[in-house]
């Protein structure tokens, strides 16, 4: 049984929780006594312990993680992320797109937060250092990616080498998506901030489900006093002076609603502290069609795995609305079953056998356009279901334009066959998205946000939020490292305001 009372209880040990725990424990003290803080980091899934050895891994994690497709079902996959210490930081693609200058501007424009590029400078530097963010080495670049670079420059674009977050990586090419690196090479909070948190005395409460935040009435406001938890079949309550939620964009919002804090139209348990913005204003990258091509000559070399190539940005407006991001992934590895069912593979017979034997898949590449500043937003309906709403005209138009631009690039690269682009682009209430943020966004106005720029709840004392849910607008690229930078920034602000003597 854990301690019954903590100075700080942090719910969720994925991308944000371990950063908060480690940095608050290292730099904060009890404001009254100057003593070391008692901090609990709570995670619903297991903690696979082991000394971090990037490039080698620990015996426990080598047994449980796989880079050969699929993932251990024991990790209870939900909403595209695993329930275990390290969370989504263990199975992200390690494509490290830190915030672009326009992203900071959008954050400020959206809700008035003072999250400027200058204010984030130290947080970004720490994120680069702790996650080992650097450009992918030339040895994993492919002929196809280099060809894309040359064509993009010829067309007047400015392509950039993609960055990754890895240490001692052999670049096998098979660790993207749900797979977890067996050898601790792909950077994660499990091998960076968790050891630091334990060094400074943080209690990690694994396999512990937080069912609700205990919120007492304080006039028209509320005050967070503790957490209702369950572990190994037993239920108990844990009290804390400061509670920080870092469960993810959807789970944080739902936990607040289950705790009686949210929109009045919620059809679950009663709402005692109302905030209509919880579960609303969700931004992200809507899923859209991609485009692939077949070349006469291999675009990959097959010697080492290709881990990303270059990217380029296309804007039609100075404010960045409708921004398109193109990522070249030309000549990367595929599992045999993926290669066998590829669009360009013959359906059966000798031709199919020859395609597989001759590594025909190395002649196939994709150019993945993404609408990174879409016009719609998601929200959680009164039953907790995710719905995509708003005016989607910009989204549809720019998605079609993205396919046309990608097709032109592939033609100039010499592609022999290209997948069709004259396909209908449909956007419905059920359209999904990736890199979702903003369900409990930060802002200066309590009428349009959930937490202030210092990550403190507008409505409930002693309650803080910090994960993707507080980011007011999705960034241009993947949100792993931007979320990490926001969290480093948050930890510094929380320490400054609450844990300095």
Label residue 91 exposed, middle or buried (CB < 10 Å: 0-12, 13-18, 19+).
Answer: buried
pTM of the full structure: 0.95
Return averaged pLDDT per consecutive 10 residues of the chain, 501 residues in all. 88 97 98 97 96 92 78 73 90 91 97 98 98 91 92 96 92 74 93 97 97 92 97 95 97 98 96 97 93 88 66 96 92 72 82 76 84 95 96 94 96 95 92 95 98 98 98 96 98 98 92
The answer to whether the beta carbons of residues 188 and 83 sit under 8 Å apart is no
The answer to whether the beta carbons of residues 212 and 258 sit under 8 Å apart is yes
Domain boundaries, the chain: 5-132+177-283+436-498, 135-163+288-431
CATH architecture label of 135-163+288-431: 2-Layer Sandwich (3.30)
State how far the Cα of 124 lies from the Cα of 4, in Å rounded to an integer.
36
DSSP string for residues in 52-121? --TTT--HHHHHH--SSS---GGG--BTTB--STTGGGGTS--B--PPPHHHHHHHHHHH-----TTTTH
Q: Please, what sign has the CA dihedral across residues 433, 436, 441, 443?
A: negative
State how far the Cα of 255 lies from the Cα of 277, in Å rounded to an integer.
14
Helices (H), 209-305: 249-258
Return the pLDDT at 70: 61
- Superfamily covering domain 5-132+177-283+436-498: FAD/NAD(P)-binding domain (3.50.50.60)
Return the pLDDT at 244: 98
Return the pLDDT at 349: 86
State how far the Cα of 340 lies from the Cα of 363, in Å rounded to an integer.
13
Q: Which residues in 121-130 are b (16+ Cβ under 10 Å) and which e?
A: eebbebbbeb
Return the pLDDT at 25: 98
Return the pLDDT at 85: 96
């Amino acid at each position: 049984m854990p301690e019954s009372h903590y100075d700080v209880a942090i719910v969720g040990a994925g991308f944000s929780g371990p950063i908060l725990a480690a940095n608050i424990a290292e730099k904060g003290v009890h404001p009254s006594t100057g003593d070391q803080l008692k901090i609990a980091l709570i995670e619903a899934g297991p903690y696979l312990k082991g000394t971090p050895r990037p490039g080698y891994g620990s015996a426990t994690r080598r047994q449980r993680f796989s880079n050969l497709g699929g993932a251990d079902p024991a990790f209870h996959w939900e909403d595209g992320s695993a329930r275990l210490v390290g969370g989504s930081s263990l199975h992200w693609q390690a494509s490290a797109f830190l915030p672009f200058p326009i992203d900071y501007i959008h954050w400020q424009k959206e809700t008035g937060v003072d999250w400027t590029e200058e204010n984030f400078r130290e947080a970004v530097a720490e994120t680069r250092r702790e996650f080992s963010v650097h450009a992918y080495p030339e040895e994993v670049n492919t002929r196809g990616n280099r060809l894309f670079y040359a064509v993009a420059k010829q067309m007047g674009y400015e392509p950039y080498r993609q960055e990754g977050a890895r240490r001692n990586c052999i670049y096998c090419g098979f660790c993207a998506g749900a797979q977890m690196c067996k050898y601790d090479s792909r950077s994660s909070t499990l091998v960076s901030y968790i050891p630091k948190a334990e060094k400074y005395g943080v209690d990690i409460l694994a396999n512990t489900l937080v069912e609700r935040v205990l919120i007492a009435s304080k006039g028209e406001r509320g005050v967070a006093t503790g957490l209702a938890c369950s572990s190994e079949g037993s239920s108990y309550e844990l009290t804390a002076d400061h509670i920080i939620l870092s469960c993810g964009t959807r789970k944080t919002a739902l936990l607040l609603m289950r705790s009686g804090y949210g929109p009045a139209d919620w059809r679950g348990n009663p709402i005692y502290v109302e905030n209509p913005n919880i579960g609303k204003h969700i931004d992200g990258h809507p899923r859209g069609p991609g485009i692939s091509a077949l070349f006469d000559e291999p675009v990959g070399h097959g010697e080492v795995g290709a881990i990303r190539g270059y990217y380029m940005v296309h804007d039609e407006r100075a404010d960045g609305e409708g921004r398109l991001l193109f990522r070249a992934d030309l000549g990367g590895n595929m599992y045999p079953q993926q290669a066998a069912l590829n669009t360009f593979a013959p359906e059966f017979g000798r031709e199919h056998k020859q395609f597989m034997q001759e590594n025909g898949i190395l002649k196939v590449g994709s150019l993945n356009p993404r609408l990174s500043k879409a016009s719609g937003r998601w929200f959680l309906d009164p039953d907790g279901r995710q719905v995509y709403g708003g005016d989607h005209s910009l989204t549809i138009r720019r998605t079609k334009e993205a396919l046309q631009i990608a097709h032109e690039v592939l033609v100039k690269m010499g592609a022999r066959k290209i997948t069709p682009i004259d396909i209908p682009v449909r956007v419905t209430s059920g359209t999904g998205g990736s890199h979702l943020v903003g369900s409990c966004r930060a802002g200066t106005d309590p009428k349009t946000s959930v937490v202030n720029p210092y990550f403190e709840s507008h409505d409930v004392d002693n309650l803080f939020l910090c994960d993707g849910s507080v980011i007011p607008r999705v960034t241009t690229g993947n949100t792993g490292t931007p979320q990490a930078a926001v969290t480093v920034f948050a930890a510094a602000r929380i320490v400054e305001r609450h844990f300095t003597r």
